Amino acid sequence: MTIQNTKQWFEAAVPEPTGQNTAIQAGCHLEEVAEMLQAMNGCSYFRKDRDAAIDALTFLADGLKCGMYSVATASATEYLDALCDQIVTAVGCAHMEGMDIQGALDEVNRSNFSKFVNGKPVFDENGKIKKGPDYKEPELKRFTL
């Protein structure tokens, strides 16, 4: 049900996605990958490569979100497969760390719906959904070890 709740949020926020919406969402996705890398301290030899990867991902994410780049897929099936694999591997990463990914995603969904104002999304100048005045950050600590 949690993925369905996430999908409902997107359907409410962007009922008829455009190519620009696709690029913005891909940019947001890469931004989250960069944040994951930032959270991974790793060994000291990893930090230089990690920082370079974060810089590259951030540059690409920013370009997608501001309209400098667009998303074109060679194969919708391969693109969908990659997205599904990312969901599966994300669940696996949380499992390996003993985290409650289901509970955490429910909490993130609650937080995301708090971005809306009078049930409607508010967008920034680039078309990204921004946090409304009643936004409440997700409280995720209880879902970690």
Q: How many domains does the chain divide into?
A: 1
Residue 122: domain span: 2-143
Task: For residue range 103-137, list pLDDT tens digits in order.
Answer: 999 999 999 999 999 999 999 888 889 999 999 99
Question: What would the DSSP string read from start to end of 55-117?
Answer: HHHHHHHHHHHTTSS----S-HHHHHHHHHHHHHHHHHHHHHTT--HHHHHHHHHHHHHTT-B
- Per-residue pLDDT, 50: 84
Q: What is the CATH number of the domain that holds 98?
A: 1.10.3420
- Per-residue pLDDT, 43: 59
